[in-house]
Each structure stands twice: as structure tokens, then as C-alpha cells.
Chains A and B, each alone.
Chain A
Amino acid sequence: AQKVTQAQTEISVVEKEDVTLDCVYETRDTTYYLFWYKQPPSGELVFLIRRNSFDEQNEISGRYSWNFQKSTSSFNFTITASQVVDSAVYFCALSGGKSGGYQKVTFGIGTKLQVIP
């Protein structure tokens, strides 16, 4: 079975602070995919990033960056210079092939980020 743990249920930061959202995963698959989604107060989930298990390069997109470390089974997400618009629930998710197929994506419980102006 596959599992995604987001130990931080809620985080509050002051605007312009950096914040890291942790994601730890478990899987027996050698090929798997990791995702981050954002759910703003409006409710709809928005895709942020997808990473496959063979690509450990860190990714940067504007103020967002992701650190993938297979050695610690972690896929952490950092927001630099946070803004109020970053306030949302962020989900980490895992898709592994042997766990019944890639379509059976496992989501973490989410981390609610509040950015205080």
C-alpha cells in the first residue's frame, strides 16, 4: 500500500516569510509519481507540479520550489516570500504503478497555510 504523510495540518506565517510544507511518502514501487496541488478558499484544486521517481532534480518556479529526496522519501514544497494569495490548503499526492495502477492516486490530508498580512 502507498501512503502520504503531511504532518503539518496548519501553518501560519507572516507575509514575506519563507515557508516549507513537508511531504513524506511510502511506496514499494520503483516507478512512481509525486504531485502537489493547491486548494484556495474558492475550493477548486489546482495542479502545481508532477515529479517522477527517476528525476531527483529540484524544481523552481517563481517563488515556488520543490525538493525531492528519495533517500528520505520526501517531496517538500517551499514558498519564498509568501503572499496572502498563497493562503490555501496544499495537498501532496502519490501515484504508484504496482499499487493497483497509476490512476489510484493517494493524497495526503493536506496542509492549511495561512499567510497573515
Chain B
Amino acid sequence: NAGVTQTPKFRVLKTGQSMTLLCAQDMNHEYMYWYRQDPGMGLRLIHYSVGEGTTAKGEVPDGYNVSRLKKQNFLLGLESAAPSQTSVYFCASSYLGNTEAFFGQGTRLTVV
């Protein structure tokens, strides 16, 4: 019973490099989310999706792009990484927007 799976778990990038974080869920959820977690700031919503083919901006979307080509996958892209994007990234999914969210194990990203 996988739930929500994120890859990779760790990554170090140089400033200016690009990368894609992959999130996959096997619960047939419509809603998927990308959050970042920083010390003293809790979790902040980057982007979210309410269904296949749809995406929307969250609280801190600048510097990130997302795609939801398949219902079970939600990709987060960094086109040109900056040190300010050093963070722990969490993907989550839920049945509805106001129901419990299931989280992945997180991706620790360091940009040097």
C-alpha cells in the first residue's frame, strides 16, 4: 500500500540548474499539492491541482512550475534553482479539498 511516493528523497543542486520532483499517488485522489517546509514557517502551499490537466498557484508559486498530465502524478519543476529554494518539499493528495491529506515522505533539496 504505497499511498503517496516522492522521488527523489534527497538532492543537491547548483544555482541555476533545473530539476523535476515527481509525486505519485495510488489512491485515485483528484486533489494533489506541493508544499515546502522551512524552519519557523510551517508548510506553505506552492501549487495544487484539483484534477488531471489542471493546476493552480498556491501561496508561494514563484520559481516553480507544475504539471498534472496523469491523475496519479503531479510534477514540480524548478527551472533555475536558487539558494532560497533550499527546503524540504512535500507532496500530498486528498479525496476532496477539505478532507484529510496524505503526504509523501518529503524531498530534501539543497541549492548551493
Give chain A's interface residues, CB within 8 Å of chain B. Answer: 4, 9, 33, 35, 37, 42-47, 50, 52, 91, 95, 97, 101-105, 107-110
Contacts and interface: CB of A to CB of B under 8 A. Distances in A.
B44 to A, nearest CB: 8
A65 to B, nearest CB: 18
B98 A95 contact: yes
15 contacts: A42-B105, A43-B106, A44-B104, A45-B90, A45-B103, A46-B103, A52-B98, A103-B31, A103-B33, A103-B50, A104-B45, A104-B59, A105-B33, A107-B44, A109-B40
Nearest to A6: B42
B77 interface: no
How big is the B interface, by class? Answer: 20 to 34
Contacts of B94: 103
Contact of B43 (A42, A101, A107): A107
B97 interface: yes
Contact of B58 (A4, A33, A47, A104): A104
Nearest to B102: A47
Contacts of A107: 35, 42-44
Contacts of A37: 103
Interface of A is mostly: loop
A33 B102 CA distance: 16
A43 B44 CA distance: 16
A95 B40 CA distance: 20
B63 to A, nearest CB: 19
Interface string B11-41: 0000000000000000000010101000011
Contacts of A9: 40
Interface string B81-108: 0000000101010101111111111100
Nearest to B94: A103
Nearest to B108: A43
Given A33-B98, A43-B105, A47-B100, A104 B48 contact: yes
